[in-house]
Amino acid sequence: MLRDPFQSVSCLTLMSTPVTSVLRRPISAFSFISSKFKSLQPLTAIRTFKPFRQADRIREPGDEDIPPYPYGPRQTFKQADRGLYGGASIQFGNKISKGRNKGKTRRRWYPNVRLETIRSEALGKDLTIRITASCMRTINKCGGLDQYLLGDKPARIKELGLFGWKLRWKVMKSPMMQQKFAEERKKLGLQAPGQWKLGQTFEQLWAHDAARAEMLREQKKAWEELKEKDEKFRQHVKTRWEPKDGRKYDLDQAVIVRDPNQANSLAGL
C-alpha cells in the first residue's frame, strides 16, 4: 500500500513545531492572577540585623591618603587581610591512623579565629575585629592594641597585613598620638614636619624650598651613614680576611663610583 507523500510531509512539519503552538489551551483566571502576584515587588528591601559593625567594613574619609602597604596583599589565605591574624595561615598535613597499616589522610589546620571587641585608647572607641588567639596574647603582652600596632620591627609590620596597616595609620593620625609625637620631638630637639602633604608629587615637593632643604639634609645624612658603614667594613676586612690565593690586595685603591652632580650638591650643604 502506497502512502501519500503530502501526508508524510505534514507529519514531519507537525513533529517539528513546538508543543506549545500545537496544544493551545485557554488561559484560566487562576494562572492570570498568579502571574500578577509574581510580578509584585516589595516596596522596601529586607535588611538583616547586625548587632555590631566590623572594623574591616568601616570606610572613613581620609582612607585614600594611607601609604601603600610595603608587603602588598596576600596571595594565599586572603581573608587574613581583613583582620589581625598575626601572620597565621592554613597548614596542611596528614592524619595518620593508629592501625597497623598507619594510613595517611590529607587534612588542614585552620587558625583559631574569633571576633573580639578591643579598646583603642588613641581612637577612643571599641573595635570589633577578627583576631586569632595567638595575636590576642601578643596584644596583651604588649600592653594594648595601640602598642601592638605601633611596633616598628619589620616582623611586626609584616604580620599586620592590610587591615592592621590601615588601623596603624589611623592610630598614628589620631590627636592623642599626634600630641605624643610632638612632645617626643620637642624632648629630642627635632623640628616639626613641614606643611607639605604626603600626597604631593616629587616635583611639587622639590619646588618647595623647605622641603628641598630637608630632603637634601636627609640624603646627606644617609650618605654619611653609608660611608661610615663602608669604612667599618674595610677595617673588618683588613683585620680578618686572608686571601686564599696568596695575592695581596690593596683596598685603599678602590674607587666608589658616584654622581659628580650629587656629590657637589651634598658638599655645598
DSSP 120-170: ETTTTEEEEEEEEHHHHHHHHHHTSHHHHHT--SHHHHHHHHHHHHHHHHH
Residues 84 and 164 sit within 8 Å (Cβ to Cβ): yes
Report pLDDT digits (tens) over 219-252: 888 888 888 888 888 888 777 766 666 666 665 5
- Residue spans of the domains in the chain: they are 55-188, 202-267
Report pLDDT digits (tens) over 65-92: 788 888 888 888 999 999 999 999 999 9
DSSP code of residue 1:
-
Which has the higher per-residue pLDDT, 182 or 33?
Answer: 182
Q: Could you tell me the three cell numbers for 216? A: 637634601
DSSP code of residue 54:
B
Geometric angle at alpha carbon 128, from 126 and 133, rounded to 5°: 115
Confidence at 264, pLDDT banded by 50, 70, 90: low
Geometric angle at alpha carbon 182, from 179 and 186, rounded to 5°: 140
**Under CATH, which number does the domain 55-188 receive?**
2.30.170.40
Given this model, what pLDDT does residue 215 score? 83
Given this model, what pLDDT does residue 268 score? 56
**Range 123-127 average pLDDT:** 91
Confidence at 14, pLDDT banded by 50, 70, 90: very low
Residue 38 has pLDDT above 80, yes or no: no
Share of the chain above pLDDT 70, in %: 61
Residues 226 and 233 sit within 8 Å (Cβ to Cβ): no
Report pLDDT digits (tens) over 131-179: 999 999 999 999 999 999 999 888 999 999 999 999 999 999 999 998 9
Name the pTM for this structure.
Answer: 0.53
Residues 84 and 130 sit within 8 Å (Cβ to Cβ): yes
